[in-house]
A and B are shown apart, each in its own frame.
Chain A
Amino acid sequence: MSTPDTREAPVTGEAAAITAAALALGDDALVLSHRLGEWAGAAPVLEEEVALANIALDLLGQARILLSLVGDEDELAYLREERSFRNAQLVEQPNGDFAHTIARQLYFSTYQHLLYGQLAAGDGPFAGLAAKAVKEVAYHQDHAEHWTLRLGDGTPESHDRMQRACDALWRYTGELFQPVDGLDLDHTAMESAWLDSVTAVLGKATLTVPAGPRTGAWAAGAGRQGLHTESFGRMLAEMQHLHRSHPGATW
């Protein structure tokens, strides 16, 4: 009765912010890992099966740690509705051809590397996790950059495919730098570092930095607000179906 709301509110606010941040980062990792898992058995060469699976497994590991910080990992992954997922739209984009997958990897891992680099340097609740993840992500970025060079500066066909992929995914990259509750980061600095890095890689790969806008024209928002693209609902339907068919079961 006498407990003043004013004393509780900041604590709740902070906890809610940490939850929001953990969901944003965790959902990014969970969803991208799922997409990469779809490549199993269909990669362009056997060596790349192993590489893509390594990245998917790193991301799934990150997702499990992040989701477990704020709840039961399986409840969060399997029982939330589409609108409750906080991942950026970039990571839910379908695999497309290998060029699309690599462009998505390039954009995302460059961002994630900067993000975890900043988090690891801080003393927030994600510093410990970020210190480990930043090493994994550095490798993901390296993998994406090497493939971007080879596809961009490979054959005329691979160049065209890679350019198309970079163009198509460009509009999903702006969202990555919107402020996220609970993450005390310098988004402006991250965004300009991201642009520098991606511009340099694309240039080296003889690709053109896409000219279009980096955000969609829809004012309703994007993934971090729980608004997703059409293919995401199907992805979740597939991912959640079995778990939801057996309520309360242990696996």
Chain B
Amino acid sequence: MTSDGWPLWEVFVRSRRGLSHTHAGSLHAPDAEMALRNARDLYTRRSEGVSIWVVPSTEITASSPDEKDPFFEPSADKPYRHPTFYEIPEGVKHL
């Protein structure tokens, strides 16, 4: 998908140190350098970020929605992976 030959890029922004990059949106740019700059201007003009990744949209491999069940359901029935599964006597700290 191009804008006169400018490919689409996905933009990921780290909003502050200690957090991971999250998807902010997309934009068109002729190359990676310009994509980074456009992303800086567009997605962090209100100081929303400290670090930016740009990825060509075509480089992303996504799970298909048809695979939804085999991909994600098995983990849904493993509540023991979550700490709230376990009962701890009241008053016990640092667990």
A binding-site residues for B, Cβ under 8 Å: 45-47, 50-51, 54, 142-143, 146, 150
Q: Which of B3, B34, B41 contacts A50 (CB 8 A)?
A: B41
Contact A50 B37 (CB under 8 A): no
Given contacts A47-B42, A50-B42, contact A146 B6 (CB under 8 A): no
Given contacts A45-B3, A45-B28, A47-B28, contact A146 B45 (CB under 8 A): no
Q: Which of chain B's residues have a CB closer than 8 A to the CB of A54? A: 41, 45
Q: In whole angstroms, what is the CA distance A100 to B36 when docked?
A: 24
Knowing that A47-B34, A146-B37 are A-B contacts, what are 19 other residue pairs whose CB atoms are under 8 Å apart, sorted by A's residue number? A45-B3, A46-B28, A47-B27, A47-B28, A47-B29, A47-B38, A47-B41, A47-B42, A50-B41, A50-B45, A51-B37, A51-B41, A54-B41, A142-B37, A143-B37, A146-B33, A146-B34, A150-B30, A150-B34
Total A-B pairs in contact (CB under 8 Å)? 27
Could you name 20 residue pairs across A and B whose Cβ atoms are closer than 8 Å? A45-B6, A45-B28, A47-B27, A47-B28, A47-B29, A47-B38, A47-B42, A50-B41, A50-B42, A51-B37, A51-B38, A51-B41, A54-B41, A54-B45, A142-B37, A143-B37, A146-B34, A146-B37, A150-B30, A150-B34
Query: In the complex, how many angstroms separate the beta carbon of B24 from the nearest chain A beta carbon?
Result: 14
B binding-site residues for A, Cβ under 8 Å: 3, 6, 27-30, 33-34, 37-38, 41-42, 45
Q: Which residue of B lies closest to A147 (CB)?
A: B34
**What are the 4 closest A-B residue pairs judged by CB atoms, nearest first?**
A47-B38, A50-B41, A51-B41, A54-B41
Q: Which of chain B's residues have a CB closer than 8 A to the CB of A45? A: 3, 6, 28
Q: Which of chain A's residues have a CB closer than 8 A to the CB of B3? A: 45
Q: In whole angstroms, what is the CA distance A143 to B27 when docked?
A: 17
Query: In the complex, how many angstroms separate the beta carbon of B13 from the nearest chain A beta carbon?
Result: 15
Q: Which residue of A lies closest to B42 (CB)?
A: A50
Q: Which of chain A's residues have a CB closer than 8 A to the CB of B37? A: 51, 142-143, 146
Query: In the complex, how many angstroms separate the beta carbon of A152 from the nearest chain B beta carbon?
Result: 14
Q: Which of chain B's residues have a CB closer than 8 A to the CB of A51? A: 37-38, 41
Query: In the complex, how many angstroms separate the beta carbon of A132 from the nearest chain B beta carbon?
Result: 14
Query: In the complex, how many angstroms separate the beta carbon of A229 from the nearest chain B beta carbon?
Result: 30
Contact B30 A50 (CB under 8 A): no
Q: In whole angstroms, what is the CA distance A74 to B61 when docked?
A: 54
Q: In whole angstroms, what is the CA distance A27 to B46 when docked?
A: 26
Q: Which residue of A lies closest to B43 (CB)?
A: A50
Q: Which of chain A's residues have a CB closer than 8 A to the CB of B34? A: 47, 146, 150
Q: In whole angstroms, what is the CA distance A150 to B45 when docked?
A: 24
Q: Which residue of B lies closest to A154 (CB)?
A: B30
Q: Which of chain B's residues have a CB closer than 8 A to the CB of A143? A: 37
Q: Which residue of A lies closest to B33 (CB)?
A: A146
Q: In whole angstroms, what is the CA distance A142 to B33 when docked?
A: 11
Query: In the complex, how many angstroms separate the beta carbon of B6 from the nearest chain A beta carbon?
Result: 7
Q: In whole angstroms, what is the CA distance A47 to B26 when docked?
A: 11
Q: In whole angstroms, what is the CA distance A126 to B28 when docked?
A: 39
